[in-house]
Structure 1
Amino acid sequence: MSVEAVQASGSALPKLWLLRHGETEWSRSGQYTGLTDLPLTAEGEEQARSARSALAGVDFDLVLTSPLQRARTTAGLAGFPDALVEPSAVEWNYGDYEGINSAEVREQNPGYLIWDDGVPNGETLAQVAARADSIVERVRRPQPDGTVVGNALLVAHGHFLRVLSARWLGLDAGEGRHFLLGTAKVCTLGWDKKTPAIEAWGL
């Protein structure tokens, strides 16, 4: 559904709230963590509980989570144990760089940037962006019962949420490099009148 069609229906434009999962051992150490299904650390669990305050009082029509346990656990601890699993919300598949510390990659290639250089034998940035686009479309279109989403929440992963934020704004996926996002931080993607906008970042 277009922005104009939503407005013509009398419904408010949908907002998409983002919550990155809490800390894991690899996020703490700087290792690329794509599809490896790590649990939260004790600190990560506390971070997830702390995210409740940033989400308190919001009436969500749709709550989605990555299927990976670090996201599902974060969703539950943040107050959303019944979040719907969204397979497209997994983290970037880092291929040969999975479990490698990003600092080690840059030691071998000082000019390396994942946004420009990608990952060997993993997903391309375009493939990650296509998954992000599918979720943006899911939030913006009418739901199966015909209702329009007011507020949606997505619990997922750092790189993936940064790509999704760029795509929400209509930017190239690589512009996600500009949006730093710490563990268990909350963001709100919304609108400036009819223009997609970031309403809050890293709460």
Structure 2
Amino acid sequence: MQLYLLRHGETEENKSRFYYGKLDVSLNEVGIDQSKRAGELLKEIKFNSIYISERKRTRETAEFALNNGDLNLITDKRINEIDFGKFEGKNYEQIQKEFPSEYEMWNENWKEFAPPGGESYRQFYSRIKEFLEDILHKEQENVLVVTHGGVIRTIYCCVLEGNLDLYWKFSSKNCDISIIKYEYGNLFIDSISHVK
């Protein structure tokens, strides 16, 4: 199996460096262009399944990238971005100022701390891992997952045997395409491509 991971295109919230997962925002013009260019790299591949999160930025990315009108997208809430709760729509400095004690707890224990009304990284990891395990049990050749940067970096952690500290060792830029291969019971990162 080849599992293609496509991060959604740029949004204004990305550009402003806001924390957002649950906020449902659209691509900006740059994000639309990135999605179309990603589509050029994917156009020769016949996908058995295409998964998107519940957020419209992933649906828009898939539609602009694959531009064939009959996509049969499968929405799966397990590949939504992490829910930042009351931190949503705020940048690092705003969080530090408005939630000083929560900010300290977040820094001290980022894996277990959940922002007010949000989820912890440990909870986030569990649902991503469950999604990945389900996908690997399907006997399909090519699967596309259009999702979010945090989800993709978490899938890398799953591939690297659950080492959560490696989450911070990877970048995931808008419309990056990663290929994860699953062969003979072995899961590995085959490539990561940046859309120019």
Instruction: Tell me, in whole angstroms, the C-alpha distance in 1 between the residues paired with 2:48 and 2:128.
Output: 19
Shift of 1:118: 3.9
Read off the aligned partner of 1:126 and give its amino acid letter: R
> What number of residue pairs does the alignment pair up?
185
- What does residue range 1-203 of structure 1 map to in structure 2 within 5 Å? 14-79=1-66, 81-105=71-95, 112=107, 115-116=110-111, 118-121=113-116, 122-142=118-138, 148-191=139-182, 194-203=185-194
8 Å contact from structure 2 (residues 136, 182) kept in 1: no
CA gap 1:24/1:154 in 2 versus in 1, 3 angstroms: same
CA gap 1:113/1:39 in 2 versus in 1, 3 angstroms: farther
Instruction: Tell me, in whole angstroms, the C-alpha distance in 2 between the residues paired with 1:118 and 1:51.
Output: 35
8 Å contact from structure 1 (residues 51, 186) kept in 2: yes
Deviations 1:80-115 (A, max 9, x none): 643211121111000121111124446766993884
Aligned structure 1 segments of 4 or more residues deviating by more than 6 angstroms? none
RMSD (Å), alpha carbons: 2.3
Unpaired runs of 5+ in structure 2? none
CA gap 1:101/1:75 in 2 versus in 1, 3 angstroms: same
With the length of structure 1 as denominator, give the TM-score of the two structures: 0.81
Instruction: Tell me, in whole angstroms, the C-alpha distance in 2 between the residues paired with 1:69 and 1:174.
Output: 29
- SS of equivalent residue, structure 2 residue 66: coil
8 Å contact from structure 1 (residues 88, 132) kept in 2: yes
With the length of structure 2 as denominator, give the TM-score of the two structures: 0.84
Shift of 1:16: 1.1
Read off the aligned partner of 1:57 and give its amino acid letter: E
Shift of 1:50: 0.9
Instruction: Tell me, in whole angstroms, the C-alpha distance in 1 between the residues paired with 2:108 and 2:188.
Output: 26
